[in-house]
Chain A
Amino acid sequence: MNDTTPDPDAFYSKVNQAFPEAIEDVIDFRGERTLVIRQEFLREICLFLRDDEDLLCNFLEDIVADDMLPEYPRFAVNYHVYSIPNKQQLRLRVPVDDPDDGPETVASVWPIASWLEMEVWDLMGITFKGNDQLRRLFLPEDWQGHPLRKDYPLGYEEVQFSFNWEVIDAKKPYAKD
């Protein structure tokens, strides 16, 4: 099943050499390698991964945010980075303490990041420094809250229609102006 096995040490040793204090932890699970890195080094490491002539990580597959409630730090953002020439993948995991003070945007490294960060902000509420396009993507413009957070209720709430708007509006603080 280990069909996405990265070259075990190429990424780690290279990144560790270039940024000795950036890597907090290395996780190997089911043949996938995750580098847990510190938030402030994210953009430089991404640039390094893209431009290094051995690594050539030219493709950003996905950005996924995790809510680890009640752990600390609560949030983490995962960057799935892929190298099409080398056919290798790597996951960068960035722990985030404060969602309003999130990691720097990597849109200057991979343009698609801007679009993916928008999704993360919309559903998980993690901001990305330097991305001025964070807006509601899936949810309505006036939506309050970020539904993928663990403290966001899942259902069991009365649905707001036009005929019962006032009733619910009286109970919910955010439906008011």
Chain B
Amino acid sequence: MTDGAGTGENDKLTPGSDIVQELTIEELRAKYGSGLTISSEDNMLLSMGPQHPSTHGVLRLLVELDGETVVNLAPDIGFLHTGIEKTMESKTYTKALVMTDRMDYLAPLSNNLGYIMAVEKLLDVEPPPRAQVIRLILTELTRIASHLVWLGTHALDIAAMTVFLYTFREREYLLDIFEMCAGQRMMASYFRPGGLWRDVPEEFEPAVRKFLEFFPAKIADYEALLTRNPIFLDRTKGIGSISAEDAIAWGLTGPSLRGSGVDWDIRKATPYLGYEEYDFNVPLGSTGDIYDRYWCRMLEMRESLSLVEQALNRLPDGPVTIDDWKIVPPPRSELGRSMEAVIHHFKIWTEGFRAPEGSVFQRIESPRGEFGCYLRGDGTSKPARVHFRTPSFVNLASLPILGKDVFVADLVAIIGSIDIVLGEIDR
């Protein structure tokens, strides 16, 4: 189940030795201070992770155990920290885009959207309607794809193996759609400042329509495996509950917040991409336990399907980028006959565009909750400061609250239910 018992036998290694330096248990206690105090001498301190499948990436949890019950726990993160925010300060606005894909690698298009909308807000440009609708379709499909991975791994955590195989089969279909548009299955970087990289291909609409046709039956399949499964209910009902007040105070967002019955969805509260023109519901839970969070996400997938269908039905014709060569590179066909196009092409790929001075904050509803992008421009072609408010990072902070006084096995289920992605926690 877990690896590395807390025996305190790892002596601190001197720098220069060829073994990775580890802290002793005593040092860990000192380091986490009030976050992790051993309340009884009989309790055991256990290091869970970082290399453990049920921690969904490289998350390490320091767990204080009384028998099999979690008394206290402290998350230890940073194993995937790559300094994305710092690196972005040295790239132009367009080049920095590719790093947003790598944060939440299960919902790259949502990250693209949050960042690109912040850049567009800073530049004060608005993409054409067709680009908006395609963005909406793709981010909603991303939401489904992300929820599919969550569902599969969450069920796998509580020993329901079959669901995993089914959800990854359907996710593969969605990844094919992303590849069709962007040329990449996952790291799409498809949304660009001022619109899209290019228009969607002809096969896009039939492929999405086919998905809309067969996917509802697949959701019914997953539900047949889980929703009324007595083992699943035993493992999820009444476990890991959090009240609405606590959920807000601890900054939970997304389905993890709505599972507690708080009606807050950014798509409804501060609509972007024209969400206010669409007809959809925000599924809410009531008790805030694992099952409610599960149920919210299952219903959200159906709502996303309905959103995609509505968007496809109204998909307008027209350009997918704005007509400003200062921001959008000129089309290839222009390069052979227009000197201005050549100049713009050269300028945009060497220097990039300059954004005005000022700070903006753009929030969107990513599959995991509120994804916020803070961007400060200083008049140059590179951002002076980029900061991401990533939902997984903030949601993880409430894990010590959710995971108190539960069994270790339930702790694994709780980690699955708040749906964290370590790439965007550490970024």
What residues of chain A lie closer than 8 Å to B15, measured between beta carbons? 165, 169, 175, 177
Interface residues on B, range: 35 or more
Beyond A30-B122, A59-B248, A115-B251, 9 additional pairs, beta carbon < 8 A: A62-B374, A66-B359, A87-B270, A112-B249, A123-B85, A138-B426, A141-B23, A147-B83, A169-B16
User: How would residues 118 to 141 of chain A score, 1 for a CB under 8 Å from any chain B CB and 0 otherwise?
Assistant: 010001000000001101111111
User: How would residues 365 to 376 of chain B score, 1 for a CB under 8 Å from any chain A CB and 0 otherwise?
Assistant: 000001010101
A residues at B contact (CB < 8 Å)? 1, 3-4, 29-30, 32, 34, 58-62, 64, 66-67, 78, 80, 84, 87, 89, 91, 110-112, 115-116, 119, 123, 132-133, 135-142, 147-148, 152, 154-155, 162-163, 165-166, 169, 175, 177
What residues of chain A lie closer than 8 Å to B374, measured between beta carbons? 62, 64, 78, 80
Q: Is the CB of A60 within 8 A of B122?
A: no
B contact patch SS: mixed
A contact patch SS: loop
User: How many inter-chain residue pairs (CB < 8 Å) link A and B?
Assistant: 123
Q: Is the CB of B359 within 8 A of A34?
A: yes
Q: Is the CB of A110 within 8 A of B249?
A: yes
What residues of chain A lie closer than 8 Å to B404, measured between beta carbons? none
Q: Is the CB of A32 within 8 A of B31?
A: no
What residues of chain A lie closer than 8 Å to B394, measured between beta carbons? 112, 115-116
A172 vs B407: C-alpha distance when bound (angstroms): 46
Q: How far is the CB of A62 from chain B (nearest CB, A)?
A: 4
B residues at A contact (CB < 8 Å)? 15-18, 21, 23, 31-35, 77-78, 81, 83, 85-87, 89-90, 120-122, 124, 126, 248-251, 262, 264, 269-272, 358-363, 370, 372, 374, 376, 384-385, 387, 389, 393-394, 397-398, 426
Q: Is the CB of A1 within 8 A of B126?
A: yes
Q: How far is the CB of A95 from chain B (nearest CB, A)?
A: 13
What residues of chain A lie closer than 8 Å to B370, measured between beta carbons? 61
What residues of chain A lie closer than 8 Å to B21, measured between beta carbons? 142
What residues of chain B lie closer than 8 Å to A166, measured between beta carbons? 16
Check A4/B248 contact, CB under 8 A, given A62-B389, A66-B385, A138-B81.
no
What residues of chain A lie closer than 8 Å to B264, measured between beta carbons? 84
What residues of chain A lie closer than 8 Å to B23, measured between beta carbons? 141
Check A111/B389 contact, CB under 8 A, given A1-B121, A30-B124, A135-B31.
no
Q: How far is the CB of B191 from chain A (nearest CB, A)?
A: 15
